[in-house]
Amino acid sequence: MTGRFTRLLAAGPGITVVALLLALLLWGGIAVFAGLPFFGALVALVEGGVGSGFAIEQTLHFATPLLFTGLCVALPLRAGMVIIGGEGSLVLGGLAAAAAAVAVPESWSLVALLVAGAAAGALWIALSAAGRVWYGVNEAISSLLLVYVAIAILNHLIEGPLRDPSSLDKPASALIPPPARIAALPGFPSLHWGLPAGILLCLVCHLLVTRSVPGLSLRYTGSNRRAANYAGLSTATIMLVAAAAAGAAAGLAGALEVATVFGRANASLAAGYGFTGILVCALARGNMLALLPAALLVGAIEAGGGLLQRRYGAPAASAAMMHGLIFLMLIVGEGVRCRMPLFLASGNRS
Amino acid sequence: MSNSLAIEKVTVRYADNIAVDAVSLDLACGKIHALLGENGAGKSSLLRALAGVHAPDSGRIFFAGGRQKMGLMRQDAGLIAGMSVIENLALACGGNRWRINWRQLRRRAVQALARQQANIDLDCAVEKLGFGQRQQVALAGLDLSGCQFLLLDEPVAALTPVEADAFLAGIRQQVDQGASALIASHRIAEILAVADHVHVLRAGRLVFSGAASSTDAEQIRQAIFAQPAAARLPSRPSAMPGATILDIDDLVLPGFAGPINLQVAAGEMIGIAGMAGNGQNQLIEILAGFSLARTGTIRIAGKHLAGGNGRKLGMRCIVEDPLADACMADMSIAENLVVHDYRRPPYASRFAILQGRAIAAHANQVIARARLAVQRSSDLFCWLSGGNQRKLLVERELAGNPAVVVALNPTAGLDSASAASVVECLDQACQRGAAILICSEDLDILAERADRLMVMSAGKLLEVSGPDRRRLAIELMCAGASTQAPESSQPTTASSLLSG
């Protein structure tokens, strides 16, 4: 019985579930410390995520960009790179999208918005990958630092050359023309076509990576670059393409935010979806199909945090704290899993 | 009765491999004992068991007449680069828990170094010292920490003959003053000159033990390199070499002086013997495309080998460590087996969709052919034992009709049956017309199978021919090992550790 239980844990998803439960308990404890009722807080968190039609809509709303930013982490991971700077791609993607949508004739503005968003995002992550591939620069660090460069570029442009003179209290770029606005899904005012697009993108990426020849090349490269080189793969190209595709996904998330929520580029683009994507990918363990439930879960916590604020006046950081706790527990779980053979061995001996 | 270190039926295992097989020895104190044997004979494992680095799996180790402190000196001296000599010595014997008495330590250090007639500045950074001086510092560290029984693992492997003689003279002096030493080495002549007793390990077993004065180098050589009875293979029909396939022209290996010129014909098998660290790794790295040749050219069937096109030209490598260089540890056996062919039918359809069923079927077929114990094709590659990993690598690389096959130690670490099956696969590829190059430390297989036998020494190839080429090769290897130029004989690990 014990053996079966430990094996279940070691299998991976089990660890994730236990990590989630532990994070929930810990979070409840902290909520008590902050003066909230333990069960009340937990109930509000769950209720705000899945308790009503509105709650579910909120969850899906928050999950939409996370699908894209989760992909931005998962895809490079499969090529052997740890990219944690999806936020930079998202910010620049949103900025480029807003600028491009204004710059072209109105009938082309939607196309320009999407293409510019994806291209800017792709460029940003590909920059980190290029550093890694050609100069051996650690891509995790470079992509993370480039986030702050991206945010600085955004702030500079929306406060300077791209600033809409009518945006007085909050600097922003000009409003995009109506044809570039992406409509809400019929019947769900806070959901838009980005949600089905994101789901489709995850499915397609999953199939490509697991079932196609280029996907296998990608996995060979990620698993052992030296051996992949020996097998004749041009691993540099593969890594660059994977990084560019990942960046394009995050850039699209930014473009969608602009086309649906803000209608322009402003500082609210840097809302942390890019960083939360890391958590989504960690929950999914790099599996692109598992990004779907993972993004839903994280989106639900985000939505639950909203209800907590409304019901108990809890700080806005409650959801972020839950995210952090989940991440912490996942990492601890990973550590325990690595030592699991030791526990099992000592168990067998006794 | 005088004291001695008694080793009783000590066995050391690494997973399935027996490194030291029930070795019993009685090492009298106050003497220099030489522990000789090929690479992988179990010398280091025995030393580590004695030093307490690894507990032996069975057996007993004890002093017959009163405990003595033992200390192990590693091949690379084990000093910390970036720190001075005196700081390294403080690590070996420094004071109590809170405080180091530097003045006293300096006085003792000077004495310890003087005992070896070493003239070394205590404040010099260790990476500025020569290899011989580093060894002397390490030895002084053992001396200062009060070790009476010295365990030395290949202490002279990286030294020039002059340095080696000076170092061994220092050991002699310490032993004359009451210490004892057990020296593992494969440099026969130098060790015989100082040792009192000689012990030879082969494949983990003690095969010879006697006083140095009553043995000669030839006797020791026979004990070290004797043919294991179990590994006899069916003889290979002598090949009818065809046109030259592999043409290596004036290739200079990085870190070595001599150029290599070698032509290998289709259906020909070349054996390259040599002590490890003479350039075999570098040669394989270049042929496999892991690194580029800076001088010289390599042609396969007339076409230049450059920039990772080896696979297209039909070059296949059997590397020493599949997990590092050739296989994907965390991917399935099936995915690992189609690395060369996954873009083509039947493994991929017209629209580049992978055909999982065909890939799995192929893997099952290979697993059956390689006679692996029950393994599923969906198992991860890293779950396999080292021997099975090697077998699958051999099957993968030799499938199809490779033009050139290069193998580095293809039988190392394999039991005799697995080794035989690997050699058989190489034979078959050779008969199908591949040009084959085997670098190995297993001289028996080379001498028996190869059409031409060469010895690699300090980055150069020397051809050995004649009726008793096996013996000749051994002599060349031993001679080469002791006359290497100093810059080429430094093991890369030690030099990179200390320069970085």
Q: Tell me: pLDDT of A272 over 70.
A: yes
Residue with tokens 């059956």: B368
- What is the DSSP pairing of strand B4-14 with strand B17-28? antiparallel
Which of B325, B343, B353 faces A226 most closely, judged by CB atoms? B325
Three-class DSSP labels, A248-317: HHHHHHHHHHHHHHHCCCEHHHCCCHHHHHHHHHHHCCCCCCCHHHHHHHHHHHHHHHHHHHHHHCCCCH
Residue A80: list chain B partners with CB under 8 A: none
| Residue span of the structural domain in which B145 resides | 4-227
Residue A211: list chain B partners with CB under 8 A: 353-354, 356
**Angle formed by the axes of helices B161-176 and B102-115, nearest 10°:** 110
The pLDDT of residue A338:
67
What is chain A's Cα-based Rg? 21
CB contact under 8 A, B290 and A211: no
CB contact under 8 A, B335 and A227: no
Residues B72 and B184 reside in one and the same domain: yes
CB contact under 8 A, B328 and A224: yes
Q: What is the DSSP letter of A79?
A: T
Rounded to an integer, what distance in angstroms lies between the CA atom of residue B328 and that of residue B182?
A: 41
The pLDDT of residue A64:
95
Which of A212, A230, A231 faces B354 most closely, judged by CB atoms? A212
User: Global pTM?
Assistant: 0.75
- Range in A76-80, B9-13, B40-44 the model is least confident about: B40-44
| B320 in a structural domain | no
The pLDDT of residue B415:
66
Give me the count of residues in chain B.
500
pLDDT in tens, B205-215: 888 888 888 88
Alpha-carbon gap: A236 to the closest alpha carbon of chain B (Å): 13
Closest-CA residue of chain A to B344: A213
The pLDDT of residue B112:
87
Residues B182 and B35 reside in one and the same domain: yes
pLDDT in tens, B333-364: 999 999 988 988 889 988 889 998 999 999 99
The pLDDT of residue B16:
65
Nearest CA to B267 out of B460, B472, B404 is that of B404
Residues B283 and B411 reside in one and the same domain: yes
| B79 in a structural domain | yes
**What is the rounded average pLDDT of the residues A6-30?**
76
The pLDDT of residue A71:
96
Q: Tell me: pLDDT of A200 over 80.
A: yes
CA dihedral of residues A103, A107, A109, A110 (deg, nearest 10): 180
The pLDDT of residue B236:
64
Q: Is B302 exposed, middle or buried (0-12, 13-18, 19+ CB in 10 A)?
A: exposed
Domain boundary among B227, B261, B296: B227
CB contact under 8 A, B353 and A213: yes
Number of separate domains in chain B? 3
Question: DSSP letter string over A132-195?
Answer: HHHH---HHHHHHHHHHHHHHHHHHHHHTTTB-TT--SS-BBPPPPGGGSPPEETTEEEEETHH
Nearest CA to A265 out of A187, A131, A159 is that of A159
CB contact under 8 A, B325 and A231: no
Helix (H, G, I), strand (E, B) or coil at A232: coil
CB proximity list for B388: less than 8 A, separation 6 or greater:
B370, B372, B375
Residues B371 and B457 reside in one and the same domain: no
Rounded to an integer, what distance in angstroms lies between the CA atom of residue B356 and that of residue B335?
A: 9
Q: Average model confidence (pLDDT) for chain B?
A: 81
**What is the rounded average pLDDT of the residues A253-268?**
92
Helix (H, G, I), strand (E, B) or coil at A342: helix
Q: Tell me: pLDDT of B76 over 80.
A: no
One-letter amino acid for residue B58 of the chain:
S
CB contact under 8 A, A230 and B289: yes
Domain ranges of chain A: 14-335
CB proximity list for A162: less than 8 A, separation 6 or greater:
A95, A98, A99, A173, A174, A265
The residues of A whose Cβ lies within 8 A of any Cβ of B are 211-216, 219-220, 223-224, 226-232, 234
Rounded to an integer, what distance in angstroms lies between the CA atom of residue B245 and that of residue B371?
A: 32
pLDDT in tens, B103-145: 888 998 998 888 877 788 889 888 888 777 888 888 888 888 8
pLDDT in tens, A37-95: 888 888 888 898 888 889 999 999 999 999 999 999 999 999 999 999 999 999 999 99
CB contact under 8 A, B288 and A223: no
- What is the DSSP pairing of strand B259-265 with strand B404-408? unpaired
Residues B113 and B194 reside in one and the same domain: yes
Residues B20 and B167 reside in one and the same domain: yes
The pLDDT of residue A347:
39
- Range in B241-250, B342-351, B441-450 the model is least confident about: B441-450
User: Model confidence at A1, in pLDDT bands (50, 70, 90)?
Assistant: very low
The pLDDT of residue B500:
30
Q: Tell me: pLDDT of B450 over 80.
A: yes
Alpha-carbon gap: A339 to the closest alpha carbon of chain B (Å): 17
The pLDDT of residue B187:
72
Domain boundary among B227, B261, B282: B227
Rounded to an integer, what distance in angstroms lies between the CA atom of residue B225 and that of residue B442?
A: 9
Residue A228: list chain B partners with CB under 8 A: 328
Q: What is the DSSP letter of A51?
A: S
Which of A223, A224, A230 faces B317 most closely, judged by CB atoms? A230
User: Model confidence at B478, in pLDDT bands (50, 70, 90)?
Assistant: low
- Highest-scoring range by mean pLDDT, A202-216, B9-23, B219-233: A202-216
User: Model confidence at A138, in pLDDT bands (50, 70, 90)?
Assistant: very high
**Angle formed by the axes of helices A38-50 and A53-78, nearest 10°:** 80
- Range in B276-290, B356-370, B386-400, B461-475 the model is least confident about: B461-475
Residues B235 and B88 reside in one and the same domain: no
Rounded to an integer, what distance in angstroms lies between the CA atom of residue B172 and that of residue B154?
A: 16
Residue B340: list chain A partners with CB under 8 A: 231-232
Residue B422 CA, distance from chain mean position = 19
**What is the rounded average pLDDT of the residues B418-433?**
85
User: Model confidence at B496, in pLDDT bands (50, 70, 90)?
Assistant: very low
The residues of B whose Cβ lies within 8 A of any Cβ of A are 288-290, 308-312, 317, 323-331, 335, 339-340, 342-343, 348, 352-354, 356
Chains A–B, number of C-beta pairs less than 8 Å apart: 63
Q: Tell me: pLDDT of B229 over 60.
A: no
User: Model confidence at B94, in pLDDT bands (50, 70, 90)?
Assistant: low
Residues B187 and B170 reside in one and the same domain: yes
Helix (H, G, I), strand (E, B) or coil at A120: helix
| B321 in a structural domain | no
Question: DSSP letter string over A85-114?
Answer: -HHHHHHHHHHHHHHHHHHS-GGGHHHHHH
CB contact under 8 A, A220 and B288: no
Rounded to an integer, what distance in angstroms lies between the CA atom of residue B228 and that of residue B201?
A: 13
Residue B184, phi then psi, degrees to nearest 5: -90, 135
Residue A216: list chain B partners with CB under 8 A: 335, 342, 354
Q: What is the DSSP letter of A80?
A: T
The pLDDT of residue B161:
67
CB atoms within 10 A of CB B268: 23
User: Model confidence at B153, in pLDDT bands (50, 70, 90)?
Assistant: confident
Considering the domain delimited by A14-335, tell me its CATH architecture. Answer: Orthogonal Bundle (1.10)
Nearest CA to A89 out of A142, A129, A143, A163 is that of A143
| B18 in a structural domain | yes
Q: Tell me: pLDDT of B488 over 50.
A: no
Which of A214, A215, A219 faces B331 most closely, judged by CB atoms? A219
Rounded to an integer, what distance in angstroms lies between the CA atom of residue A216 and that of residue B279?
A: 34
CB contact under 8 A, A220 and B328: yes
**Angle formed by the axes of helices A139-159 and A109-135, nearest 10°:** 140
Residue B317: list chain A partners with CB under 8 A: 230
Work out the percent of chain B whose per-residue pLDDT is above 90: 11
CA distances, B108 to each of B111, B124, B145, B171 (Å): 5, 17, 10, 18
CA distances, B36 to each of B6, B184, B189, B439 (Å): 18, 6, 11, 22
CB contact under 8 A, A211 and B354: yes
pLDDT in tens, A293-321: 999 999 999 999 888 888 888 887 888 88
Residue A304 CA, distance from chain mean position = 18
The pLDDT of residue A339:
67
The pLDDT of residue B484:
39
The pLDDT of residue B276:
65
**What is the rounded average pLDDT of the residues B254-283?**
82
Residues B15 and B34 reside in one and the same domain: yes
Closest-CA residue of chain B to A226: B325
Domain boundary among B179, B212, B227: B227
CB atoms within 10 A of CB A321: 19
The pLDDT of residue B311:
82
CA dihedral of residues A280, A284, A286, A292 (deg, nearest 10): -80
Q: Tell me: pLDDT of A179 over 50.
A: yes
Alpha-carbon gap: B417 to the closest alpha carbon of chain A (Å): 27
Which of B309, B327, B343 faces A224 most closely, judged by CB atoms? B327
CB proximity list for A257: less than 8 A, separation 6 or greater:
A65, A90, A94, A269, A273
ipTM: 0.81
The pLDDT of residue A93:
96
One-letter amino acid for residue B143 of the chain:
D
Residue B244 belongs to domain with CATH number? 3.40.50.300
Alpha-carbon gap: B290 to the closest alpha carbon of chain A (Å): 7
B85-107 burial code (b ≥16 CB/10 A, e <16): bbbbbbebbbeeeeeeeeeebee
CB contact under 8 A, B339 and A231: yes
| B319 in a structural domain | no
Alpha-carbon gap: A220 to the closest alpha carbon of chain B (Å): 7
Q: What is the DSSP letter of A36?
A: -
Q: Average model confidence (pLDDT) for chain A?
A: 88
- Highest-scoring range by mean pLDDT, A335-349, B154-168, B349-363: B349-363
Alpha-carbon gap: A131 to the closest alpha carbon of chain B (Å): 20
The pLDDT of residue B486:
36
Residue A285: list chain B partners with CB under 8 A: none
| pLDDT higher at B289 or A193 | A193
Which of A77, A206, A224 has the highest number of chain B CBs within 10 A, making it the mutation to test binding with B?
A224
Residue B474 CA, distance from chain mean position = 16
Q: Tell me: pLDDT of A341 over 80.
A: no
Which of B290, B311, B327 faces A232 most closely, judged by CB atoms? B311
Q: Is residue B65 within 8 Å of residue B2, measured between CB atoms?
A: yes
User: Model confidence at A12, in pLDDT bands (50, 70, 90)?
Assistant: low
Alpha-carbon gap: B335 to the closest alpha carbon of chain A (Å): 8
Which of B310, B340, B354 faces A216 most closely, judged by CB atoms? B354
